[in-house]
Chains A and B, each alone.
Chain A
Amino acid sequence: MGLKAYLDDIVEAVVTTAKGMRITARYGVDPKEETTMQYPEERWEIPEGYRGFLHNDVKKCTACTMCVKVCPIDCISLESVRGADKRMVLASYDINIGRCMYCGLCVEVCPPKSLKHTSGYEMASVARGELILHFIAEDAEEIKARVARQVAEATAKAAEAAKVEAQAAAKAAEVPSSGTKPAEEKKPE
């Protein structure tokens, strides 16, 4: 190594050090360079269409099971029974958000638009079971029993009505000469 190379080395060391120090000084002095966000106190604004935790508005839900069928990883499960008014009644509606991959297919497919993504993204639990969101607080068996009771009551009432009707029809049959039309009797209900 010649003397020139030796001196060049020294100059290079000084120049590059000075260059680096100037950069760090700029960062050190300029407060705008701080990009850290103090998370629990400050947050990002949630963008539009953000896919957070799923939420199902059970009042609007028709228990059509479209979401269950479309879910690629089967994290939605629901149970339903047919109610007295022929509509489906939800007995349970669970989403395992530990499994959910937030693809949004269920939200897109939902006919009554009851299933929605919320903006929530924070959750902590000590057991995996706690990651399953239950949207119906009441016990599924109780609901089923109640609905079954209602259905039974309704059928009983219908049977009663049918019996009354049959009796009325029988009475009408006893006096065929009275001239009443049997088709008219059935209409009012």
Chain B
Amino acid sequence: MEALAQSLVNAVPLLGGVPLWAVTLLLIVAAAVIILVFALTFEGVGSYVLRKVAGDIQARIGPNRVGPNGILQFLADGVKLVLKEDIIPANADRLLFKLAPYFAFVGSFAAFVVVPFGVGLIAADLNIGIYYVMAVTSLVVIGVLLAGWASNNKWALLGGMRAAAQIVSYEIPVGMALIPAVLIAGSLSLQDIVRSQGGLFGIFGWNLFHNPFTFFSFFLYFTAAQAETNQTPFDLPEAESELVSGYNVEYSGIRFGLFFLSEFGDMFIVAALSTACFLGGWNVPFFNAGTLPWIWGNLLSLGVFLAKAFTMVLIMMWVRWTLPRLRVDQLMRMAWKYLVPLTFVNLLGVSLWLLVFKGKGIPGMIASLFG
């Protein structure tokens, strides 16, 4: 950001009198606002699409009253959430109760910072990108746990406890399934990981097709990430048939809205991370978007990235409306007896592959066969 601010000051002489830190701050706020607008729009439209997909899959129609084909439903929902009364139960822990939604929302929103939207479209290219995402999305569990505890409600408490157990368990397979991408790129930065999947192989440059182990690792990551973000086959924290609606049962109005938004934010983060780490990120097949003029390169790569990410979101919705919810013991067994050992074996496989074949993937080897 500071480098960008410096170049901005150099480019526009009018800003010469303004101190560099002020320009930097302004840029930071601008970037945050752009990402917030994107995140909120995605979350709104996402909720509409989610309900439409649910309707299609369940042979229904879905929302179709507000606006043409119900497209404005999310605006109506948003207005409703903002205008509703914000109720705090009499025996709730007031401070924690008020605080919890912000933890959940900040946890999911902060992860947008390192999402590589395009060649140069990234709020902060941290050199610990993946690690940062893993750490900051874990803030969501604190919000959920706080909400469950502070509500003074048995359903909420049970939901919060389940969420804590679940997210802590699934953090391990998620991390282990992402490490293959890190190993191949040799960097934790998401931009570096995306760049490592470029080249002229087209879709065969993707980490997904690098070797058999990375192929499995994508599916392992996707499964574990669904569980980590409390998506439906693993939505035990809010299982409405058992826990009414889990940790957010006492919330109403805008505070409930924040939980709702954070859920959709998490959904996008999972989609974005699987796109960046396994599906080639913003790489445009067959030519290098980085060599195009700045604006066209960025627009093209943004389009490619969003197309991939939204496809992943659609697949998540598809899974969500297909699979029935797991039982608590099944969920834990799946994490500790299946996903954790499998991701470890997978990681070992990728490491050995990279060691034996000197970091070359199958498409690379085939390409070198033909010169």
Contacts and interface: CB of A to CB of B under 8 A. Distances in A.
Contact of B318 (A24, A34, A38): A24
Interface stretch (B58-66, B119-127, B192-200, B353-361): B58-66
Interface string A11-31: 000000100110111011100
A27 B338 contact: no
A38 B60 CA distance: 11
A34 B322 contact: no
A174 B321 CA distance: 109
Given A21-B322, A27-B58, 7 more contacts: A10-B338, A10-B342, A20-B323, A21-B318, A24-B57, A28-B53, A28-B57
Contacts of B56: 27-29, 34
B319 interface: yes
A21 B319 contact: yes
Which 4 A-B pairs rank lowest in CB-CB distance, beginning with the nearest? A24-B322, A28-B56, A28-B57, A33-B59
Contacts of A35: 59
A36 B338 contact: no
B323 A17 contact: yes
A44 B55 CA distance: 21
Report whether over half of chain A's contact residues are helix, strand or loop; otherwise say mixed.
helix
A4 to B, nearest CB: 15
B261 to A, nearest CB: 25
A9 interface: yes
A21 B322 CA distance: 6
From A21, A24, A27, A33, name the one whose CB has the most chain B CB atoms within 10 angstroms: A24
A23 to B, nearest CB: 8
Interface size class of A (residues with CB under 8 A): 10 to 19
Interface size class of B (residues with CB under 8 A): 10 to 19
Given A9-B338, A10-B338, A21-B318, A27 B323 contact: no
A62 B147 CA distance: 72
Interface in B336-359: 338, 342
A141 B39 CA distance: 72
A36 B61 contact: yes
17 contacts: A10-B338, A20-B323, A21-B318, A23-B322, A24-B57, A24-B318, A24-B321, A25-B318, A27-B56, A28-B53, A28-B57, A28-B318, A33-B59, A34-B56, A36-B59, A36-B61, A38-B64
A25 B317 CA distance: 11
Contact of A34 (B59, B319, B323): B59
A91 to B, nearest CB: 48
A41 to B, nearest CB: 11
Contacts of A21: 318-319, 322
Contacts of A25: 318
A183 B113 CA distance: 120
B304 to A, nearest CB: 24
A33 B56 CA distance: 8
A36 B60 contact: yes
Contacts of A20: 322-323
Given A20-B322, A21-B318, A21-B322, A27 B57 contact: yes
Nearest to B324: A20
A35 B319 CA distance: 22
Contacts of B58: 27
A34 B64 CA distance: 14
